[in-house]
C-alpha cells in the first residue's frame, strides 16, 4: 500500500480512485449546511456556544447515502466537508456582525453586506488553510480531535457495510449512545447537572474550583493527551489561583457592578469577564505571533513546493504528486486572494464613504487601502493561529472570539494612529461609531476566515486519515461556505424580529427575558467602541503579553535545558487563561485519563511479554473509538435540541424537574461523569472483548 512522505498509510490508498464529488454528495452537503447554519445561529446567540456539526453530518450522510446502490466513504467525507462549512460560517458571523445591531449602527441586518462578508471571509479561510495543511497536519502532526473522530466514525461505518470489523464499531456506538443519553438528560430533561462548582470566600478573597460535565470535552481531552492537559491546567492556575485572588483581595463586588452581598461564584465570573479574559487575549496575541513565526518555515516550504511543481509542469517535466497530496494550486490561491481583496476594498469604501469622516481625500484612500491589507494579513494570521489551536484542543474549544478580539484591538489601534491627528476621538461620536462599525466588519471577515480555516483543517485531517483528495475537499468547502453565507442573513433577521438580540429590540413592548444574549457580539461591540472612546483597559492586554513572554523564557531557558518531556506551549497556556474552567477541566481530565491508562498498561509490559505490542494497539484504538463516540453523541443531541429550543423560545421546554432538583441533578451528573471517565480509563489499558 502506498505511503506518504512521512510513512503514513491512509485508509484508502493513493493508488485507488473512488468517487468523491458526486451530485448526491454535493446536494446533501448543501442541505445539511443550511440546516446546521440555522441551528448554530440560534445556539450561538442564545448561549454563546456552538456545537461542531462535522460528526452529525457524517452520521446523517452515512444513513442517507446508504440508500443508494453505490456510495463511498470519500463521498461521505465530502458531505461532511460541505455541511460543516455551514455552521462555521454561521459561527464567524454571529460572534461579530450582531454587534452592529447592539451598538445601534444598524437597525436591521444588511443582507448583502453580511452575505459578502461570509463568502469573502469563508473563501479566504479555505485558501489560507491550503499551505497550513502541510505545516500543521503533515509536518507538525497535530491531533485535530474532531477531524480524527469524524474519520473514525466514517471508517467504522464503512467497516459495518463491508463486514470487516464489528468489535471497534461497538466501542464507537457505545460512546455515542452514552453521550447522547447523558446530553439529553443534561440539556433537555435537566435531571443531570452539566457542571460542578465550589466557590467560597477566604480571608477577604475568592477561591474555588469547578468543572463541566460535558462528555465531548473529556473525549477531546483523551484524544489530545497529557501534554496539552498540563499546559491548559497551568494557564487555568494562573487565571484562577493567582489572578482571581489578587483581583478580589484588592477590590469589592461593587467594582464589578455587583451587589455588596454577591455570591463568590458571581464575583469570580464577573472578574473573569472583565479582567481575566483580556489577560488571556494578551497572552493569545503573543502566543499566536510566536506560533506563527514557528510556522513560517513549513508554510514557505509548502508554497515553494507548489510553485516548483507548476514551474516543472510548464517546462514539460513530469511531476509525480500522490492523489492524497494534491492541493489547489498556489497560483490559483494567490489569484483568488487578490480578487477577494478587491471586494473587501469595495465594502470598506462603501462603509467609510457614508461615514463622512472629516479627513482629507488622500488620507481617506490611504485608510481604505490600509484596512484592506490589514483584513487580509490579519485574516491569515488569525487562520494560522486558529488552525494551530484547533489542532491542539479541537474546534469546539477553540476561542475564535479571542482571536477576533485581538484582531479588533490591532485594527482599532492602527486606525487611532492613522486618523488621530485629524479626528478627535473620545465619547459617543458619529465618527467613533462609524469606525467601530468598520472594525466589526473587518472582525467578521477575520472571524469567518479563522473559523473556516480551523474547520477545513479538521476536514483535511479526516481526509488525510481516510485517503481523500485535498483539492476536492477544498473546492467543495467553498460550496458549503456560499450556502451558509446566503442563509445566515435571513435567519439573523428572523431571530432578531422574534426575540431581540443583545438588549436591542426591533420594536417596543418585547419581552427582554426572551432576548438572545449574543455574549460574543456584545463583547465585540464594547471592545470596538471602548478603543475609540478611550475606555478600554489596555494594561490587562499587556499583562497577558508579558505572561506569554515569561512562558517562552521558562520553556526555552529551563525546560529545554533539562530535556523535559513536558514542555510549555504559549498557545495552550493562553487557552487555559482564556477559556472558562468548565471547558478546561474536562479537557484536562480526558488527557490525564489517557496518560494513566497508558501508564497502567506499561506496568503490565513484562506480564504481557510478546503480546504487549498487540494489546497496546488494541487499547489505543478502542479508547480512541469510544472517545470519538462521546464527541459524536454529544454533538448530535446538541444539534437536535436546538429545534425545540428555537420553536418554543426556551431551553427549558423539555425539563421534567424544577429548580429545587438542581443539587440532586448536580450529584447525579457528577456520578455519571465519573462512571464514564472510569470506563474510558479501563479502555486505555485493558482489552475489552
84 found inside a domain:
yes
Residue with cell 456545537: 51
- Vertex 459 angle, CA 637 and 683, to 5°: 60
131 found inside a domain:
yes
- Vertex 284 angle, CA 278 and 289, to 5°: 140
For position 2, what pLDDT does the model report? 45
Q: Where are the beta strands (DSSP E) in 236-322?
A: none
On the 0-12 / 13-18 / 19+ scale of CB atoms within 10 A, 204 is exposed
Strand partners of residue 516: 501
For position 47, what pLDDT does the model report? 56
3-state secondary structure string across 446-457: HHHHHHHHHHHH
| pLDDT higher at 135 or 302 | 135
368 found inside a domain:
yes
Question: pLDDT digits over 411-434, tens only?
Answer: 888 888 888 777 776 666 777 778
For position 43, what pLDDT does the model report? 62
What are the cell numbers at 18? 473512488
Distance CA 463, CA 447 (A): 24
Range of the domain at 110: 23-170+299-535
H helices of 394-429, in order, are 400-419
What are the cell numbers at 576? 487555559
Strand partners of residue 209: 198
Q: How far is CA 144 from the centre of its chain?
A: 11
Residue with cell 448561549: 47
Q: Average per-residue pLDDT in the chain?
A: 80
Q: Residue 315: in which H helix or E strand, if any? A: none
Confidence check: pLDDT of 596 > 70: yes
Question: pLDDT digits over 253-290, tens only?
Answer: 888 888 888 888 888 888 887 888 788 878 877 876 77
629 found inside a domain:
no
3-state secondary structure of 41: helix
Q: Is 144 left (phi over 0), alpha (psi -120 to 50) or beta?
A: left
62 found inside a domain:
yes
261 found inside a domain:
no
> Nearest to residue 234, comparing CAs of 575, 595, 582, 583?
575
Which stretch of 9-23, 529-543, 573-587 has the lowest confidence by average pLDDT? 529-543
Question: pLDDT digits over 174-202, tens only?
Answer: 888 999 999 999 988 999 998 898 888 88
Question: pLDDT digits over 453-472, tens only?
Answer: 877 888 888 888 888 888 88
For position 282, what pLDDT does the model report? 82
| Exposed e or buried b per residue across 412-431, where buried means at least 16 C-beta atoms within 10 angstroms of its C-beta | bebbeebbeeebebeeeeeb
Confidence check: pLDDT of 672 > 90: yes
40 found inside a domain:
yes
Confidence check: pLDDT of 310 > 60: no
Tell me the CA end-to-end span of the chain in Å, nearest whole number.
29
477 found inside a domain:
yes
On the 0-12 / 13-18 / 19+ scale of CB atoms within 10 A, 163 is exposed
What are the cell numbers at 239? 487565571
- Estimate the crossing angle of helix 215-224 against helix 145-162, to 10 degrees: 100
φ and ψ at 44, to 5 degrees?
Answer: -65, -40
Task: Please count the other Cβ atoms lying within 10 Å of the Cβ belonging to residue 656.
Answer: 10
Task: Please count the other Cβ atoms lying within 10 Å of the Cβ belonging to residue 507.
Answer: 7
Distance CA 526, CA 80 (A): 35
For position 305, what pLDDT does the model report? 57
Give one DSSP letter per residue of 566-621, joined into a string: S---HHHHHHHHHS-HHHHHHHHHHHHHHHHHHHHHHTTHHHHGGGHHHHHHHHHH
The predicted model scores a pTM of: 0.71
Question: pLDDT digits over 199-249, tens only?
Answer: 888 877 888 888 889 888 888 788 777 888 888 899 999 999 999 998 888
Distance CA 456, CA 129 (A): 7
3-state secondary structure of 150: helix
Distance CA 407, CA 528 (A): 10
Into how many domains does the chain fold?
1
At 680, is the pLDDT very low, low, confident or very high (cuts 50, 70, 90)?
A: very high
CA-to-CA separations, 581 to 32, 163, 244, 389, 595, in angstroms, rounded = 32, 43, 12, 17, 21
Q: Residue 174: in which H helix or E strand, if any? A: helix 167-183
Most confident of 307-311, 320-324, 391-395, 487-491: 487-491
Confidence check: pLDDT of 1 > 50: no
Amino acid at each position: 500500500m502506498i505511503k506518504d512522505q512521512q510513512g503514513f498509510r491512509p485508509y484508502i490508498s493513493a493508488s485507488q480512485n473512488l468517487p468523491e464529488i458526486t451530485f448526491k454528495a454535493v446536494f446533501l452537503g448543501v442541505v445539511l449546511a443550511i440546516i446546521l447554519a440555522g441551528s448554530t445561529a440560534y445556539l450561538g446567540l442564545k448561549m454563546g456556544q456552538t456545537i461542531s456539526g462535522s460528526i452529525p453530518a457524517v452520521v446523517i450522510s452515512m444513513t442517507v447515502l446508504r440508500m443508494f446502490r453505490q456510495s463511498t466513504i470519500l463521498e461521505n467525507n465530502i458531505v461532511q466537508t460541505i455541511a460543516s462549512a455551514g455552521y462555521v460560517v454561521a459561527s464567524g458571523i454571529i460572534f461579530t456582525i450582531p454587534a452592529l445591531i447592539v451598538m445601534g449602527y444598524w437597525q436591521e441586518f444588511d443582507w448583502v453586506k453580511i452575505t459578502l462578508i461570509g463568502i469573502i471571509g469563508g473563501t479566504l479561510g479555505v485558501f489560507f488553510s491550503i499551505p497550513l495543511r502541510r505545516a500543521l497536519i503533515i509536518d507538525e502532526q497535530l491531533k485535530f480531535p474532531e477531524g480524527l473522530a469524524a474519520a473514525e466514525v466514517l471508517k467504522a461505518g464503512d467497516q459495518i457495510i463491508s463486514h470487516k470489523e464489528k468489535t471497534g464499531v461497538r466501542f464507537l456506538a457505545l460512546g455515542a449512545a452514552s453521550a447522547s443519553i447523558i446530553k439529553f438528560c443534561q440539556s433537555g430533561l435537566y435531571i443531570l447537572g452539566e457542571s460542578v462548582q465550589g466557590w467560597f470566600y477566604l480571608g477577604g478573597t475568592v477561591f474555588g474550583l469547578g468543572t463541566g460535565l460535558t462528555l465531548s470535552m473529556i473525549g477531546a481531552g483523551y484524544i489530545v493527551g497529557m501534554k496539552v492537559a498540563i499546559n491548559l491546567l497551568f494557564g487555568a492556575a494562573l487565571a484562577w489561583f493567582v489572578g482571581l485572588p489578587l483581583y478580589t483581595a484588592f477590590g469589592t463586588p461593587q467594582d464589578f457592578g455587583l451587589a455588596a452581598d454577591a455570591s463568590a461564584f458571581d464575583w469570580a465570573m464577573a472578574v473573569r469577564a472583565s479582567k481575566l479574559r483580556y489577560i488571556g487575549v494578551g497572552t493569545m496575541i503573543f502566543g499566536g505571533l510566536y506560533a506563527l513565526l514557528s510556522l513560517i518555515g513549513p508554510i514557505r516550504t509548502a508554497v515553494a513546493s507548489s510553485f516548483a511543481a507548476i514551474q516543472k509542469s510548464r517546462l514539460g517535466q513530469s511531476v509525480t504528486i500522490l492523489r492524497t497530496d494534491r492541493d489547489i494550486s498556489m497560483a490559483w490561491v494567490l489569484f483568488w486572494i487578490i480578487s477577494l481583496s478587491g471586494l473587501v476594498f469595495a465594502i470598506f469604501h462603501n462603509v467609510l464613504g457614508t461615514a463622512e469622516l472629516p479627513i482629507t481625500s488622500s488620507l481617506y484612500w490611504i485608510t481604505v487601502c490600509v484596512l484592506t491589507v490589514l483584513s487580509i494579513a490579519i485574516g491569515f494570521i488569525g487562520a494560522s493561529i486558529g488552525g494551530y489551536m484547533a489542532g491542539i484542543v479541537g474546534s469546539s474549544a477553540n476561542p475564535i472570539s479571542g482571536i477576533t478580539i485581538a484582531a479588533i484591538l490591532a485594527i482599532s489601534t492602527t486606525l487611532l494612529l492613522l486618523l488621530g491627528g485629524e479626528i478627535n476621538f473620545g465619547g459617543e461620536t458619529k465618527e467613533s461609531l462609524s469606525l467601530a462599525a468598520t472594525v466589526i466588519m473587518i472582525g467578521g471577515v477575520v472571524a469567518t476566515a479563522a473559523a473556516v480555516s480551523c474547520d477545513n483543517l479538521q476536514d483535511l485531517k479526516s481526509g488525510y486519515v481516510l485517503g481523500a483528495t485535498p483539492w476536492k475537499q477544498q473546492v467543495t468547502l467553498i460550496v458549503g461556505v456560499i450556502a451558509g453565507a446566503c442563509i445566515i442573513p435571513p435567519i439573523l433577521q428572523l431571530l432578531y424580529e422574534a426575540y431581540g438580540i443583545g438588549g436591542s429590540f426591533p420594536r417596543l413592548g418585547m419581552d427582554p427575558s426572551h432576548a438572545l444574549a449574543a455574549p460574543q457580539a456584545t463583547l465585540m461591540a464594547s471592545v470596538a467602541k471602548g478603543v475609540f472612546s478611550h475606555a478600554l483597559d489596555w494594561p490587562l492586554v499587556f499583562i497577558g503579553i508579558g505572561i506569554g513572554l515569561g512562558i517562552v523564557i521558562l520553556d526555552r531557558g529551563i525546560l529545554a535545558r533539562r530535556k523535559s518531556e513536558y514542555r510549555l506551549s504559549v498557545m495552550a497556556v493562553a487557552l487555559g487563561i482564556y477559556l472558562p474552567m468548565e471547558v478546561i477541566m474536562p479537557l484536562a481530565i480526558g488527557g490525564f485519563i489517557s496518560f494513566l491508562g497508558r501508564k497502567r498498561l506499561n506496568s503490565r509490559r513484562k506480564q504481557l511479554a510478546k503480546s504487549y505490542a498487540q494489546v497496546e494497539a488494541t487499547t489505543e484504538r478502542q479508547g480512541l473509538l469510544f472517545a470519538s463516540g462521546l464527541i459524536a453523541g454529544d454533538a448530535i443531541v446538541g444539534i437536535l435540541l436546538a429545534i425545540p429550543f428555537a420553536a418554543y423560545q426556551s431551553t427549558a421546554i423539555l425539563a421534567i424537574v424544577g429548580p429545587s432538583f438542581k443539587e440532586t441533578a448536580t450529584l447525579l451528573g457528577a456520578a455519571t461523569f465519573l462512571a464514564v471517565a472510569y470506563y474510558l480509563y479501563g479502555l486505555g489499558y485493558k482489552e475489552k472483548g
